[in-house]
Amino acid sequence: MILFASLSSLTNLARLRSPILCVLGHVDTGKTKLLDKVRKTNVQEGEAGGITQQIGATFFPMTNLRKLTDQVSHSVKVDYKIPGLLVIDTPGHESFSNLRSRGTSICDICVLVVDIMHGLEPQTIESLQLLKRRRCPFLVALNKIDRCYDWQPNKDSPIQDTLAKQKSHTVREFESRWQGIKGEIASQGLNADLYYENKNPRKVVSVVPTSAITGEGVPDLLLLGIQLTQKMLVDRLMLSEALEATVLEVKVTEGFGTTLDIILVHGELHEGDTIVVCGMQGPIVTTIRTLLTPHPMKELRVKNEYVHHKSIEASMAVALPPVTSSLQAAMGVKIAASGLEGAVAGTSLLRLEKEDDIEELKSSVMEDLEELKKDVDKSGKGVHVQASTLGALEALLDFLHNSSIPVASINIGPVHKKDVIRASAMLERAPDLAMILAFDVKIVPEAEALAKKAGIKIFTANIIYHLFDQFKSFMEEKKAAKREQLYSNGVAVFPVILSIIPKNVFNKRNPIILGCEVKEGSLKVGTPLCIPELNFLEIGKVTSIQNNHKEVKVAKVGMSVAVKIEPSNDQQSHILYGRQFDHKVKLYSKITRDGIQAMKDHFAEEMTSEDWKLMSKLKQLFIRGVQHW
């Protein structure tokens, strides 16, 4: 995998926009703490220009980044050319998935956070696969280095400086853990090196050891991000006049109703522009009523929370207050307009120009959602899936697909009564799947009440793995209960053939206790027995099996065991060994068509190939001998 493509040289560096950076990683690796550390450090350092809290992102001007990375720049040569860095505030692969335009990621570079104590965890691997799929350049932050034994912290120090100050046994532990993780990354098909040892950053993943607690390695991480984007992604950062914007979040904002939080990558937007966005019920065409950005951080105390704009251009200062007059290239913006209630986060925002065909634009904005609808099971049987954004929905659908869980319907946003009604259609088609998996969304009280009444189970979680664990645990409990029911009522029956040992007849009538040898299949407690040679005479159900005077639940081929047989009805209570049957006949498990299906559906993993052969043999025997079988 080529991590950074080779790009042509530029003549107009002033027309570069800020790279967009996203943070990914497993739960509890320190993603949020790392982001907080970067923000906090910059607030402390940023007396001149100051960082700007944007909609869904934080903008770091180059003046601040230069100060923070100054300690490292003596060893890593960088000519600062970009206007700053736009860091997406919410870490996680759902946010990354939302950062796209027409199916392509608008995220320029990612930081994949790996816990040095735990290595590659499931969500880390999932994030790696996502990055490879999207062909998005990334760095690895090897976080929590301060957890190494006897680590001596050096606040906000470059990583090579702080490693040089550690004791030898601490460095040995660090090296050992790093080499282990390097091997794990290699097992995912990628080569990796510590960034200061990486001779080929185009093809080898650069790794930066960090501590979100002490700030060690954070300067290296930022400087490397700047260096690699400037060196290898310059063509991508060239500003374009063509509008490129993606919807990051749809939310209700006090005083403005339903609004869109967008990332404006290229081009400009104006009040009064007609825009087209993806909606769950179809494309939404509306007019921008208001364009908003937050006040800069230093002025968060002002009563009016937002600054209004007549127009916003991605490449220029946008009539912000003087304190934030620095140029901002990619930026976060809030749009207020009517009819945005059903808008889908994670999709493109398009503007209608005079020469545009509105039907083409409508079709274009719906492409991503239509693509996801292909994951809906064609059989019409499956769970109902609900998520907060398109990116979250995509991540969940990928996970469910890989886990072989069928999906019958999807929606985005809070769970309403209509979603419960949709899920309840499964009560007739596939009762075991009549449920809702709700990822990072609220459940409306009316929907919760209806679900309880209808018997629709709703699982909720903010982490995909937690949602899956809940679902899996519930399904296992349900499966166990179903198996127990099928087994206890005699529907599910394992195939077996027994021969009677005449010298080991312990009791001839209710309960009949016989010594038997298992000739074929396996005998289990609960098995109903019959005698095909005597017109399929039913003699009762096995209630106990003993091997060498010890109770066992199953007897395999070749075992000789004592079998207690008790009647299932009055007629069977009159059966007597020596009168109706004796040792000359063989005993067979009584099977039915429903029983065979139950074994296929619920006990297949317990059946061997020999068991299935015997089941087929018994089926033919019963078809020939039992009328209306």
pLDDT tens-digit readout, 108-141 = 899 999 999 999 988 788 888 888 888 889 999 9
Is 321's pLDDT higher than 60?
no
pLDDT tens-digit readout, 309-319 = 888 876 433 33
Judge if the upstream peptide bond of residue 502 is cis by omega within 30 degrees of 0.
no
Looking at the structure, tell me whether residues 254 and 223 fall in a common domain.
no
Is 68's pLDDT higher than 50?
yes
Looking at the structure, tell me whether residues 153 and 176 fall in a common domain.
yes
Per-residue pLDDT, 327: 32
Domain boundary among 317, 339, 367: 367
Does residue 219 lie within any of the structural domains? Answer: yes
pLDDT tens-digit readout, 201-255 = 889 999 999 999 999 999 999 999 988 888 888 888 887 888 889 888 888 888 8
Looking at the structure, tell me whether residues 289 and 150 fall in a common domain.
no
Per-residue pLDDT, 45: 45
Does residue 1 lie within any of the structural domains? Answer: no
Distances in Å between the Cα of 283 and the Cα atoms of 252, 275, 346, 369, 615 are 19, 10, 14, 10, 55
Q: What is the mean pLDDT of the chain?
A: 84
Distances in Å between the Cα of 98 and the Cα atoms of 106, 284, 389, 469 are 9, 18, 7, 24
Does residue 3 lie within any of the structural domains? Answer: no
Looking at the structure, tell me whether residues 348 and 471 fall in a common domain.
no
Alpha helices in 242-385 (DSSP H): 358-365, 367-373
Domain count, the chain: 4
Distance (Å, whole) CA 347 – CA 249 = 10
Give residue 16's pLDDT band: very low, low, confident or very high (50, 70, 90). Answer: confident
Structure tokens at 31: 């993603």
Single pTM value for the model:
0.67
Looking at the structure, tell me whether residues 275 and 150 fall in a common domain.
no
In this prediction, residues 596-603 reach a mean pLDDT of 88
Residue ranges making up the domain that contains 548: 496-625
Nearest one of 452, 442, 446 to 387, comparing CA atoms: 442
Per-residue pLDDT, 74: 65
Looking at the structure, tell me whether residues 204 and 253 fall in a common domain.
no
CATH code of 425's domain:
3.40.50.10050
* Beta bridge partners of residue 550, listed in sequence order: 547
Looking at the structure, tell me whether residues 73 and 98 fall in a common domain.
yes
Count the neighbouring beta carbons within 10 Å of the beta carbon of residue 357: 10
CATH code of 511's domain:
2.40.30.10
pLDDT tens-digit readout, 167-182 = 999 999 999 999 999 9
Residue 552's φ and ψ, nearest 5 degrees, are: -130, 155
Nearest one of 239, 224, 252, 225 to 72, comparing CA atoms: 224
Give residue 51's pLDDT band: very low, low, confident or very high (50, 70, 90). Answer: low
Looking at the structure, tell me whether residues 83 and 198 fall in a common domain.
yes
Does residue 332 lie within any of the structural domains? Answer: yes
Looking at the structure, tell me whether residues 355 and 394 fall in a common domain.
no
pLDDT tens-digit readout, 503-532 = 999 999 889 999 999 999 999 998 999 999
Domain boundary among 441, 458, 481: 481
Per-residue pLDDT, 628: 61
Per-residue pLDDT, 70: 80
pLDDT tens-digit readout, 540-577 = 999 999 999 899 989 999 999 999 999 988 888 889 99
Per-residue pLDDT, 304: 55
Per-residue pLDDT, 252: 87
Count, residues in the chain: 629
Does residue 309 lie within any of the structural domains? Answer: yes
Cβ pair 10, 237 in contact under 8 A: no
In this prediction, residues 50-70 reach a mean pLDDT of 71
Does residue 18 lie within any of the structural domains? Answer: yes
447 vs 329, residue with greater confidence: 447
Looking at the structure, tell me whether residues 389 and 477 fall in a common domain.
yes
Nearest one of 436, 432, 391 to 414, comparing CA atoms: 436
Domain boundary among 367, 393, 415: 367
393 vs 61, residue with greater confidence: 393
Distance (Å, whole) CA 516 – CA 586 = 10
Does residue 7 lie within any of the structural domains? Answer: no
Looking at the structure, tell me whether residues 255 and 359 fall in a common domain.
yes
Run of H or E residues at 170: helix 168-187
Looking at the structure, tell me whether residues 255 and 163 fall in a common domain.
no
Alpha helices in 489-591 (DSSP H): 570-573
